[in-house]
Amino acid sequence: MTSAKRFNGNLMDQFLKNGRSIILAYDQGLEHGPSVDFDNRNVDPSFIVEIASKGGFSGLALQKGVAERYYDGKVPLIVKVNGKSNLVKGEPVSRQTCSVEYAVSLGAKAVGYTIYLGSEHEAEMFAEFGKIQEEAHERGIAAITWVYPRGAAIANDTSKEIVACAARTALELGADAAKIKYTGDTQSFSWAVRSAGKTKVFMSGGPKAPTNDAFLIQVRGAIDAGATGVAVGRNVWQHAEPMKMADLLRQVVFENLQIPAMSKPAA
């Protein structure tokens, strides 16, 4: 009996430094629309691509169109291969908009795919990711999934149980890494990390927090729970001083900087 021949457990290695990672995410222009998240500065992808390399990020996640027009090859690229606007209401579904082959041609070292766990269209996304995951591995790149529990069936998408479901789904479907929401505390998030097993966990950065510490304390909590890192967008490129936030993030994630307990985010 032979064990698996195809799987390469090191596909995420190029996104890691001492086993930790900070990914800069910038697909909000499609997902939220430019008027919600962008200003005259960060509406320009060049601004973000520059932050990625100058800020010492471990990876950069872009949709195909932005990648093919702006990516400079300096930071390992993740091409998001599905997406949707937030204009459509009802049960969410996001379909493949970029082939794995095309992503590789753009320089991608990983593909990213969003699964709306619990949506009525979950089955369609499971099936689509199933093919993408296999093609990614056949082409020697990582398959990362953004697992977001969403839809009428989901009462609370940051509960310990639901976030653990998201993490586990990533492992079971063969994702090399999962981007999931933070549960709010280290203890509950560590259950999600355990549930993900060998699939690396990235905390989703979410909307801009009111203060640096309000955000960094979440990152600290996720890392302490065993997460590999964070996939962050708005908390960096909406920041008045993105390089300062990048510096802080690197300290928290790579150098174990502690965040003062008093600066907890408001409940």
User: Which residues in 69-88 contact a copy of itself (CB under 8 A)?
Assistant: 69-77, 83-85, 87-88
Catalytic residue among 80, 109, 179, 181: 179
**Do 140 and 8 contact (CB within 8 A), yes or no?**
yes
Among 17, 50, 154, 207, binds a copy of itself (CB under 8 A): 154
* Residue 23 engages a copy of itself in binding (rule: CB under 8 A): no
Quick note: the x/- pattern for a copy of itself over 90-109, rule CB under 8 A, is: x--xxxxxxx--x--xxx-x
Nearer to a copy of itself, 75 or 217 (CB): 75
Beta strand pairing call for 95-96 and 82-83: antiparallel
Among 54, 131, 139, 264, binds a copy of itself (CB under 8 A): 131
71 is catalytic: no
Q: Considering the complex, what minimum distance in angstroms separates the CB of residue 160 from a copy of itself? A: 7
**Count, residues near a copy of itself per rule CB under 8 A:** 90
Quick note: the x/- pattern for a copy of itself over 176-205, rule CB under 8 A, is: ---------------x--xx-xxx------
Nearer to a copy of itself, 18 or 35 (CB): 35
- Residue 203's DSSP bridge partners are 180, 230
Among 65, 184, 207, 226, binds a copy of itself (CB under 8 A): 65
User: Which residues in 201-260 contact a copy of itself (CB under 8 A)?
Assistant: none
User: Which residues in 157-176 contact a copy of itself (CB under 8 A)?
Assistant: 160-161, 164-165, 167-175
Nearer to a copy of itself, 69 or 264 (CB): 69
Nearer to a copy of itself, 120 or 224 (CB): 120
- Per-residue H/E/C for the chain: CCCCCCCCCCCCHHHCECCEEEEEECCHHHHCCHHHHCCCCCCCHHHHHHHHHHCCCCEEEEEHHHHHHHCCCCCCEEEECEECCCCCCCCCCCEECCCHHHHHHCCEEEEEEEECCCCCCHHHHHHHHHHHHHHHHHCCCEEEEEECCCCCCCCCCCCHHHHHHHHHHHHHCCCCEEEECCCCCHHHHHHHHHHHCCCEEEEECCCCCCCHHHHHHHHHHHHHCCCCEEEECHHHHCCCCHHHHHHHHHHHHHCCCCCCHHHCCCC
Catalytic residue among 148, 181, 182, 200: 148
Stretch that binds a copy of itself, among 152-160, 215-223, 225-233, 239-247 (CB under 8 A): 152-160
Length of the chain: 267
Nearer to a copy of itself, 108 or 259 (CB): 108
Nearer to a copy of itself, 118 or 216 (CB): 118
109 is catalytic: no
Contacts of 208 (CB under 8 A, 6+ apart): 215, 234, 235, 238, 239
Q: Considering the complex, what minimum distance in angstroms separates the CB of residue 183 from a copy of itself? A: 12
Active site residue ranges: 148, 179
